[in-house]
Chains A and B, each alone.
Chain A
Amino acid sequence: MKVIRMLGYLGLIIHGLFILGPLYVMIVTSLKNINDVFSIPPKLLPFVDFQPTMEAFEFVANTRVLYAFLTSLGVATAATAIAIIPSLLAAYGFSRYKKAAMNDERSFFILLTLRMTPPFAVVLPIFLYWNLFKLYDTYFALVWTYSVFSVPLAVWLLKGFMDGIPLSIEEAAKLDGYTFMERLRKFIIPVLGPGIAATIALVWLFLWNEFLFALKLGGSNVITYTAYLPQLRVGQRIQWNVLGAIGVLGAIPPLIIFLIFRKQIIRVYLGR
């Protein structure tokens, strides 16, 4: 038995190293001079194998990459902001009016289907659509597209949280004389608070990380940090260190969100 336990611990450790390894590699690469990136033996220890330098990050700060990050920030935030309140109303409907038209299970299923649509199947028509209105490579196009694709996720999450609030609380508020808008504002949203925050965080994260639409709907004007990445591979020399730096910077918002919302996120996955 002891042997199996030892093997088990070993397995967990190996998996831990498996997860942390590539992350470490990314961080280390971001601190390298472009010539130090690949070598035999591989230079993996800063100060020991190579001199760490901030030149990759300086590149990010001084070129369009910075602009790309700001674009990602703006676009993700704007789309989330647009999608959140309509999604909240819809989630309320799906939760409390399960028998009504457009709020029933079938409608919810349609929303689910939308969420599972592969982007590759719809990028072309959407691209052509925005082209038609001469809105290719505009912020509006990307933000609006992002809003459309955020809605199913947001409604799904919010409905889950909404279902967890007993109906009797709303009825007590009704008995106390509050109208629907007042109930929404003073009782539902405050009680739903952590759930709404977690939903906003997860939706924002999804958009921050999005790649395909940003690549095809943006162009020279509108470029997110994810869409910028391929540009570092043109030409002979791939700027690996800058790729690493972008990866590190791109990983910061997810980490912050995980730290702030660790309890809610675990709860979403744990279904409680």
Chain B
Amino acid sequence: MPKIGLVNINKKYEGLHLLKNVNLEIPNNTLFVILGPPRSGKTALGRILAGLELPDSGSIFFDDEDVTYKGPNQRNVSLVFQDFALYPHLTAYDNIASSLLKSRLTKEEIRKRVKEFAEYLKIDHRLTHYPSELSGGEKQRVAIARALVRGAQIIILDEPFVRLDYKVREDMRAQLYRLHRDLGVTVIILSSDHMDAMAFPDNIAFMLEGEIIQVGNLDAMYEKPTNLSIAKYLGLVEMNVFPAKSILDLKGTEIPRSLSMLDGTMLIGFRPEHVTLHYENTLKPDKIILAGKVKITEIVGSETIVHLDAGLPEPVRVLISMIVRKTPGEAVRVEVDVKDIYVFDAKGKFVGRGGDLIGGDIAR
């Protein structure tokens, strides 16, 4: 429940600068996602938050209390490990009860609490079983119950869905949301899966190479990512990114005048879901029209990804929200609205959207 403040957290390990001056505020009672590729420092941050490790410098505040040097037990934080870390020699019941055995509760009280959380997480019928006899989803629920039963106000989950299969993931995401809502605890999810960001879009912090690049809700990151990495990370199919020069120099395509004002070294990105098939043969003032040959067609579920060879450094990915069959080699024209374009500088820093171009905000 308390508001969490991380101030100037630094951590080095074996010469690697894992966390570089991390500053983050997590409001109280939120469901927060820390998103980032592997090795971005998420786990290190989570462990420092939980009190398993000390930062090299910096402080951690819960509300206004400096808890940097407090042990995990005094902090009221729980951590659910990626591999669940259940004690293999104890039953599910004993696993959940383990943290309570150190408290001053009576056996009856412990039994009550364990049953309470077990019932809430729907594993009360498996309490007498050992971890080796439980399924992945059950193991995770036992791990979560063990974390919750201590009465922690903050619960951190390290890559919680990575070891579950697809269907179970959906259930667990819903379960986590309900948990947060019903119990009023702050839930922090450390994840490298953008699907988790999409499932919990309200509070996201994106981490890259030990730094927090952007904080906000999913919409903000989707529409105005501060960094090319974030733009490519979010989205069902990875964004198409090309140097502006390669688009401007393209022959046989239509480039709106507004684009030609761009510096050639800048990077233009557009999402596969914003690319549509071009049918009419008319010119449209604010659309880029690309012509090319189909390389591969991927049918994924009820959608189609067409990889188009359009004379650009890489094939163009087009996401069509229905099943379309195109033969390889087939000539196809596609269009992208300039408003949907993302412009980045040569280093990947976000400059603006296509709409800013039209308004003349971006110039050479």
Residues of B within 8 A of A166 (CB): 83, 85
Cβ–Cβ contact B85 & A177, under 8 A: no
Q: Which residue of B lies closest to A170 (CB)?
A: B85
Whether B52 pairs with A169 at a CB distance below 8 angstroms is no
- B73 located at the interface, meaning its Cβ lies under 8 Å from any Cβ of chain A in the complex: yes
Pick from B52, B83, B98: contact of A176, CB below 8 A: B98
If A166-B83, A168-B81, A168-B83 touch, does A175 touch B89 (CB 8 Å cutoff)?
no
User: Is A34 engaged at the interface, CB distance under 8 Å to the other chain?
Assistant: no
Bound: A245/B79 CA distance, A: 61
A residues within 8 A CB of B150?
176
| Contacting pair B81 A171 (CB below 8 A) | yes
A172 CA to B150 CA in the complex, in Å?
Answer: 13
Q: Determine the chain B residues whose CB is within 8 A of the CB of A174 once the complex forms.
A: 52, 72
Q: Does B99 contact A (CB under 8 A)?
A: yes
Q: Which residue of B lies closest to A168 (CB)?
A: B85
A190 to B51, CA, bound (A): 26
B88 at the interface (CB under 8 A from A): yes
B102 and A191: CB pair below 8 A? no
* Closest chain B residue, CB of each to CB of A187: B87
Determine whether B78 belongs to the interface, using a CB cutoff of 8 Å to chain A: yes
Inter-subunit contact B88/A176 (CB<8 Å): no
Contact with B along A162-194 (1 / 0, CB 8 A): 000010110111111110000000010011010
In chain A, what residue has the closest Cβ to B97? Answer: A176
A168 to B131, CA, bound (A): 15
Of A175, A177, A190, A193, which one neighbours B79 at CB under 8 angstroms? Answer: A175
For chain A, the bracket of interface size reads: 10 to 19
- Contact partner of B98 among A168, A171, A173, A191, CB < 8 A? A173
In the assembled complex, B50 has its CB within 8 A of some CB on chain A: yes
Judging by beta carbons under 8 Å apart, are A191 and B73 in contact?
Answer: no
A38 to chain B, nearest CB (A): 55
Known: A171-B52, A171-B81, A172-B81. A177 touches B89 (CB 8 A): no
Contact A191/B88 with A168-B83, A171-B52, A175-B52 known, Cβ cut-off 8 Å: yes
Interface residues on B, range: 20 to 34
Contact status B89-A176, CB under 8 Å: no
Report A-chain residues with C-beta under 8 Å of the C-beta of B72.
Answer: 174-175, 177
Question: Bound state CA distance, A176 and B52, in angstroms?
Answer: 11
Closest to B150 in A: A176
Q: Are B102 and A178 in contact (CB under 8 A)?
A: yes
- Check B81–A177 contact: CB distance below 8 A: no
Most buried by B among A171, A176, A177, A193: A176
Q: How far is the CB of A166 from chain B (nearest CB, A)?
A: 6
| Contact between B89 and A191, CB atoms less than 8 A apart | yes
Q: Which of A172, A173, A175, A177 has the most CB of B within 10 A?
A: A175
A177-B102 contact in complex given A171-B52, A172-B81, C-beta closer than 8 Å = yes
**Residues in chain B near residue A177, CB distance under 8 A:** 72-73, 99, 102
The answer on a CB contact under 8 Å between B87 and A175 is: no
Q: How does the 8 Å CB contact mask read for B59-93 relative to A, with 1 for contact and 0 for none?
A: 00000000000001100001101110111110000
Give the distance in Å from the alpha carbon of A187 to the alpha carbon of B89 in the complex: 8
- A98 shortest CB reach to chain B, Å: 11
What is the CB-to-nearest-CB distance from A69 to chain B, in angstroms, rounded to a whole number?
A: 36
Question: How far is it, in angstroms, between the C-alpha of A163 and the C-alpha of B98 when the chains are bound?
Answer: 23
Bound Cα distance from A173 to B89, whole angstroms: 13
Contact between B102 and A176, CB atoms less than 8 A apart: yes
Closest CB-CB distance, A19 to chain B, in whole Å? Answer: 37
Give me 28 A-to-B residue pairs in the complex whose CB atoms sit less than 8 angstroms apart, sorted by A's number: A166-B85, A168-B81, A168-B82, A168-B83, A168-B85, A169-B87, A169-B88, A171-B52, A172-B79, A172-B85, A173-B98, A174-B52, A174-B72, A175-B51, A175-B52, A175-B72, A175-B73, A175-B78, A175-B79, A176-B73, A176-B99, A176-B146, A177-B73, A177-B99, A190-B89, A191-B87, A191-B88, A193-B89
Top 5 closest pairs, chain A to chain B, by CB: A168-B85, A176-B99, A172-B85, A177-B73, A177-B102
Assuming A175-B99, A177-B73, A190-B89, what are 8 further A-B pairs, CB within 8 angstroms?
A166-B85, A171-B79, A171-B81, A172-B81, A172-B85, A173-B87, A177-B99, A191-B89
